[in-house]
Each structure stands twice: as structure tokens, then as C-alpha cells.
Amino acid sequence: MKTTINEIARIARVAKSTVSKALNGHKGVSEEKRQYILELAKKLNYEPSATAQALASNRTGSIGLLIPHEAAYSLSGAYWSAMITAIAQTATRHNYSLLILTTPHEGEISAPINTVIRRRNVDGLIIGAEQIDAAATSRLIEEEIPFVFIGRNSWIHHYAVDVDNLGGSERLVSHMIEQGYRKIGCLGGPPQYLYTQERVQGYQRALQKAGITWQAMYYTEYKSEETRRVLGEMLQDHPDMDALCVTAGGDLLLDCIDVLRLAGIHLKRFGLGAFDDYRFFDYLDIPVCTVRQPIDRLGELAASMLFSLLHHRKPPVMQQVLDVELILR
């Protein structure tokens, strides 16, 4: 039924080890035999068994992507979907498969990591830098399972792809200043995330360069209730605020719009800037200026970097930082 290496060896009257070498481009086979074997393999429509190769060579031929719980939500879903597609396509080009790993509950990173370590069902991992903790990171390193971060960490310098958070944020806020806003507040995501810190820095740098001293900095962990409470306080403390820069997009921004509307703020005259771009911002009656990340490129690069590691080639750089695009509205 299915063509195996044995079948080819039998027909070609050579040892299966010879077939294996020929097929894998290893040396130790005469060019003549190699050609013959390759043709035969093609004629017989031979495809190696992924499973057998995996067992014999101790590599699975697949990589894993750990996706966070929130990927199931509408807006961050768009991000993850693009990421998954980009990574899957890159993997296919490299003859690898992409395995999706999820956490059973929010933030429970250890379950999927343990499974991967014990079952050895992937050769390497791609992980969001914010998703993982130091303990899980150490275990992966100990077990010698290669991995690449999407985004960076403040507590470990590791292979990663990231975007220019600081620059993007600075350009965003500078643009808002150009538009005439002078009292721009900033609502940051979780302060322990490196990207939050960088985006906040960008905000501050833009203000500084423009010589603006007015500043208002608040943080939220992305929980809807907390966001509403914090932004409410922010508006009370700074009733003169005329614009808001949010260090993330999606649902966080929608929550903010709710609060601003409830507070009776005239949003057409209020400046709004955010990270991550969504087409539907074009349809709001509020102009939202955003920073767009090149999600496809991020995924592609993360995968390529991981494949370099899997082939024991050092990636050209340890941390690749991509430019972002300012979307004016």
C-alpha cells in the first residue's frame, strides 16, 4: 500500500541504508545509484513516514506555538490568527508541522510546558514573552528544548523577535502633539511587561522632546473592570486631559471608549492613540490613531529563527526588532 524505504531497496537491489543515504543527500553513495534511487522514489510516489523518521532520528518534525487564553477573545483573536497563519506557512516551507498548545486555564503555563518536555512531541517552541515565567524558561533551557520569544522579557536575554515599541509609541505621541493636543495622558498595560515599559518610555520621550511637562501615567492589567476604574480615576484627577494614549489596542481601547463616553467627553475633539491596528477603527466616529505591528513578518521571523536553532545554526541576531507603521486617523 504505502511505499517504504524497504520497498525501494528491494526493487533497486541495494541496502536500505543506501536508500536512506541517497534520499537524505548524505555522502557515501555513488552518484549513479543516487540518481537511480531518487527517480525510483519519485516514481513510486514515496514519502517518508514522519513518525518513523521521528523515532529513529530523535526529532519530531514539528514545532509548537503556545497561545494564550485570551486568543479566544474577539480582538486579540485577530492578532493570533494572523500569527498562527504566518508561522504555519513558514513551518510548511521548512517541512515542519505546527502544533498548537494552549493553557488549560489563564496563565497556567506549566501544563503545556511539562507535556512538551515529557512527551517530546515538538522540536522547539515559539512563545509570547509575556506568557512565560522564569521557572518554565529554566526548565526549557535545562531540557535543551530550543525556543524563541515573540516580544522580549526584562528578566532573560533570549532569542526573540519584537517590534520597535519605544519608537512606535514616541511617533504616535509626537503625532498627537502635532495635532495640537497638549495634555496627553497615558494608560499603560501591565507594568511588568517590557513592552508596556517601552511604550511608556516612548510616550515620555515624545513629551520631553516637545517640552511638554504635563503628564499623567496610569496602569491596568487589562481586566475590563479595572480598566474602567483606573481610567475613571484618571479623568477625575486630570479633568483637563485632552488626549489619551493607550499602550495596547483591542478590547482595552473599547473599554476606554466606554468610559470616555460615559464621562460625557466629546470624542471628536479628544485625541485617542493606541497600539495595534484594526480595520474597524475606520468606522468609528472617533479618530483613533494607531501603531500597526507587522504580525506576518513577526511570525515568519520567529519561525525562521527557531529553524536556525534547530539546525544548529546561530541566527544572525539574537533579537530582531521590526519597524512599526503609524496609521493616522
Partner DNA sequence: CTGAAAGCGCTTACAG
Instruction: List interacting residues with a second copy (CB under 8 A).
Output: 2, 45, 47-52, 54-55, 60-62, 67, 69, 71-82, 84-86, 88-89, 92, 97-102, 104, 112, 118-121, 251, 254, 257, 278-280, 282-285, 296
Window of 42-50, 66-74, 279-287, 318-326 that interacts with DNA by CB under 7 A: 42-50
Give the Cα separation of 306 and 232 in Å (integer).
43
Region 149-208 residues binding DNA, contact defined as CB under 7 A? none
* 315 contributes a contact to DNA by CB under 7 A: no
* 60 contributes a contact to DNA by CB under 7 A: no
- By C-beta, is 15 or 72 nearer to a second copy? 72
* 16 contributes a contact to DNA by CB under 7 A: yes
Neighbours of 315 (CB within 10 A): 17
CB 143 within 8 A of CB 165: no
Structure-block grid coordinates of residue 114:
511539562
CB of 316 to a second copy, least distance (A): 26
- By C-beta, is 39 or 325 nearer to DNA? 39
Neighbours of 291 (CB within 10 A): 27
Structure-block grid coordinates of residue 303:
519561525
Which are the contacts of 218, defined by CB distance < 8 A and separation ≥ 6? 185, 186, 187, 188, 230, 231, 233, 234
HEC per residue, 38-90: HHHHHHCCCCCCHHHHHHHHCCCCEEEEEECHHHHCHHHHHHHHHHHHHHHHH
Q: Name the binder of 195 from DNA, a second copy, none, CB < 5-8 A by kind.
A: none
List of residues contacting DNA (CB under 7 A): 2-6, 13-18, 20-21, 23-24, 26-30, 33, 46, 48-49, 52-53, 55-58
